[in-house]
Structures are given as structure tokens and as C-alpha cells.
Structure 1
């Protein structure tokens, strides 16, 4: 359970494993990246919600993953090329491809709605880095928000120069990127590790130990985006359901991951609780 002003490290020390809900928890008439989906995720036991950010041509932020326009809005156009006036005319589609009464929600409104309620990971914001940092700084929710991006020096420099001190998580695809990150005076609170197989150096006790010694929580994406993209060496959500929780989520925990992103928070929460009760 999140308590206001608790850091990620304090929560990990308390709960051992934190659950991040990918775009909230959606299905039926609950649309991804909406307050309803995020609330649903918390009801399913998530500690953190992942919120995508997209900015319109007139610099209005929405909680939306660009590229999902055909699926979620029924249009073949990137909303980043649209004005907020155009976006406001759109209605979302539910999981049955039926038009529903829900519209895309302003990012500021989403953040305000969950002020003091949970941790919030901001994704897909590196296209408008300066603007998103300014917005998040203005919201004054530094104890809740975890901003992430790929390891690009231009982004790291901009974050350092902003002086906001916001919690940050690099998306790392190779151990060498850790050396780049350490050159910057930024508040690294977690590290998202991408690996395609279990021979990755990321999974060595030495590398995990370096992160944890620095107070950084290792994050893994157990989400299964599709049948081609591998984010966690196939120790993912689909295989958890197909093969078994011990063989997948359990292995991620044994490897030392402290934050697990999933599309099925209730299943993961139940598994973690049962494992704790067995001890």
C-alpha cells in the first residue's frame, strides 16, 4: 500500500516486490490509459500505474500511447499531429471495438486524480522532454512520479540541467549504458532492464548488486506486447498463464527484480501474497 511521501526504495524495502500496471488494467468497456483503467489496476493490487504521454500541436498533454490511434480511436492519424480541439472531438473504442462515451483524458487531470494515491510511471514522453519535465515540476508530485526514457545523453543532460530532482528510470538494453547514466547528477530511482535471454549480464548477481547498492530498484517488463518482441527472456505474462507462475514471475523475483510491470496485476499480486504466506 502506497503512503504519501514514501520513496520507491522505502516501498520496496517494505513490500519487497512492487507491481506496475501496464496502461492501467483494461478490458470490456474499460479503456486503457484512462482514470477508470488506472483505478481498476489499483483495485487489482497494483502499487504503480504506467501512464503514457502524448502532446498535441498546441502543447496539450493527453494520457495516450501514440500509435494506438487505430485501435483506441478508430483513426489512422497520430494525435501528435493534431490540435487539442481535434482530439476533444474523438471518442474511444472499447475492447469489443464499440464506440463508448469515454474520451482521451488530459495528463494533468489524471495526475491530479491520483495525487497521494499511488506511484506513477510516465512513459513515451521523451519526444517532448523539456515540456514534460516542466509539467511534472509544476504538478509538484515528485514523491509519486517516476519518469523514464532510453539512455540518450541529450535527455540525461536536459534532465540534469532542469534541477527538478524528479525520480528517473533509464530504459537499459546493455550494461554499458550504466556507465553513461552515472556521469549525470540525476535522481535515478529504478532501472528498466531489457533482455532477450537468460544469459544477459543484467541478470548476474554482480550487476544486480551494483544497482541495489546504489539504492536503485531493478524493473522488469513481464508484459507480453506481442509474439515477436521479447522484453524479459520469455519470463513473461503469457508464459506465466500458460506454463506457471513459479517458472516465470517466480524466476524474475529470484533473479532480484524488485518492480515487475504486468498486464495482470491481480494474478501477480495473488502469487506474491501466496509465496509470502508459504514462508
Structure 2
């Protein structure tokens, strides 16, 4: 079966992403929003807190109820967040609506698991009172197994340029769904090998704007500066993860948030900037944002010194 003709679009799928990169260089991606104090992760409040903390992109996880409704939640975190042992994806939407985030629920202010589409709609430019050019980007994660039903639902939000879709490059079925879908969404495959990178970026039926690279050590082929330079030469951006997950496995060569907090931001995040990484996902967006400003200030000061030295 041939792929349907894509719907006409006003601009290219990666336009907003390219604009942010041109404005800021390395972008700060807030992992599940910013959940501090009375704010729960993967909620509208967490998304707004992330933007207020200096994030350029908000990552939101997707979980689908047993009856096909979409929620903003990372399944597997039920015991920690909701106090239950049942996986959210095995519950009906009505059961999920009755749940509360146990650590932040308050009398008169229930902390519910939020419907995904409602959360995303709250991040549209009109809802935030900003221009389309200033609209935030949203990294939609863990959604790929439901793209056949989720993508049509996302179409109804009319915010395709804001949404960055991801899926493991090794999974063929989500890629087939994305190829056949009528609306072009910016796509970043999650790659664990150079072979995966080279195969997916050549796909003419995907709107590949960049790649997410996973590397378990500094000697991993995906941590090679030459590869990142090659991707940049092709007009593609590179995303890596600095957050530290419960399992503790290094997500990108051991350059992570814990190293930044323990040994200083230059030790933890500096190597990512040195490599030319374009998007860094973190649990500490305000600190990474501050470090980016420091790096930019030093670069500007260095450029000024060089300019003075060469000026006749």
C-alpha cells in the first residue's frame, strides 16, 4: 500500500526547532517537566515550571489506558507516585481519573493524573498568550506503541510544529505508522548504534530532524565527535540524556546530572557542549540553563578578546 499524500503544511516540520537552536545553541530539555515541592511530574504545572526554569523543551511521557485514552504518565512509576501496584495501562480511564499523586495531593486541590491532550492543549500559543514563534517545544515520549490512534488525536490539536516525536529506531512498526500518517511531525529516532543512525536518517518518508543517541561509555561509537559533526553537516540535530534513571545505567557516556551536581557543571555537562550536542535532557533545567549562560558569556568574552587582538 502506498503512503497517503501528506497534508499541506504552512511551514517545515522542524522550523520551530531550528529557530530555537539558532537562538540558544544547545537546548535545555526538562525531563517530565519540573517536579519540585508541590508539583508532580508529567503535569501541566510541571510543564509550566520547566519553562519558568529556563527549559526550551518539555518532555512528557504517554501512557494509554486499557480502554484507549491517553494520559501523561510514565508507567512503571505507579507505586512511587500513586501508591498502587497496578500498571496504569491495565486500568480503565475512569479508574485512572480517580487516582491521585499521593505526595502532592491536598484537600481542595486534588492532584490528578492528567489527560495528555488537555496537557498539550495548555501549551499551545493561544493558551499561553504567546506568539506562534515563541511556542514551547514538547518532546512526546513513550508514545510509539499507540501511534495508530494517537497521531490522529494529535492532529486535532493543530500543533505539529511544537511536538517532537521519538521511537526506538530498532522498532519497525511505529516507523511504518509514522510513514503512512498524513501529518508530518518532527521525528528523532532513538539510536543505539551507528548502523541504526545511518539507516533511519536516509528514510525519505520520515521527517527526521535529528537523532537521540544512547551511549554507555566514552568509547561508544555514538559518542564519537566525528559522527556528531557528520550529523550536523547533514542538517540534523543531536539529543542526549543527562538525567539519571532509577536503573542507573549511563545514558550518554557518563556525562550526566549527578556528575554535574557532584563535580560541577563543567565536569558533568561540559563534555556535551564540547561535543556540540544540540539538546540535553535533564532533571535540573534551571542549573543547566545557568551553565549554558555561563558558557555563552565566556564564548562572547573570548570572541571579544580575539577581535581586539586582530583589530589594526
Contact 2:223–2:252 (Cα < 8 Å) also in 1 = no
Contact 2:145–2:174 (Cα < 8 Å) also in 1 = no
Q: Which residue of 2 aligns with 1:253?
A: 273
From 185, 188, 191, give the equivalent of 1:172: 191
Partner of 2:194, secondary structure, is coil
Q: Which residue of 2 aligns with 1:153?
A: 172
Distance 1:163 1:185 in 2: 11
Distance 1:228 1:237 in 2: 12
Distance 1:91 1:157 in 2: 36
Partner of 1:7, secondary structure, is helix
Spell out the pairing of 1:53-202 with structure 2 (5 A cutoff).
Answer: 53-94=62-103, 101-116=110-125, 117-151=135-169, 152-181=171-200, 182-202=202-222
Distance 1:191 1:65 in 2: 22
Taking structure 1 as the reference length, the TM-score comes to 0.93
Residues 137-185 of structure 1: CA distance to partner in whole angstroms, max 9, x if unpaired? Answer: 2222111000101012222121111132101111111111023312351
Residues 85-143 of structure 1: CA distance to partner in whole angstroms, max 9, x if unpaired? Answer: 11111111227x98972101111111110012310000111221211222222222111
Spell out the pairing of 1:23-34 with structure 2 (5 A cutoff).
Answer: 23-34=32-43
Greater per-residue helix proportion: 2
Taking structure 2 as the reference length, the TM-score comes to 0.84
Gap regions ≥5 residues in structure 1 = none
Q: Which residue of 1 aligns with 2:227?
A: 207
Q: Which runs of 4+ in 1 moved over 3 A?
A: 97-100
Partner of 1:220, secondary structure, is strand
1:16 counterpart = 2:25: yes
Partner of 2:199, secondary structure, is helix
Residues 72-91 of structure 1: CA distance to partner in whole angstroms, max 9, x if unpaired? Answer: 11111011111111111111
1:42 counterpart = 2:62: no
CA RMSD of aligned residues (A): 1.8
What count of residue pairs does the alignment treat as equivalent?
Answer: 274
Quote the offset at 1:27 in angstroms.
2.3
Partner of 1:72, secondary structure, is helix
Larger deviation: 131-140 or 188-197? 131-140
Larger deviation: 15-24 or 218-227? 218-227
Partner of 2:198, secondary structure, is helix
Distance 1:87 1:140 in 2: 26
Contact 1:27–1:94 (Cα < 8 Å) also in 2 = no
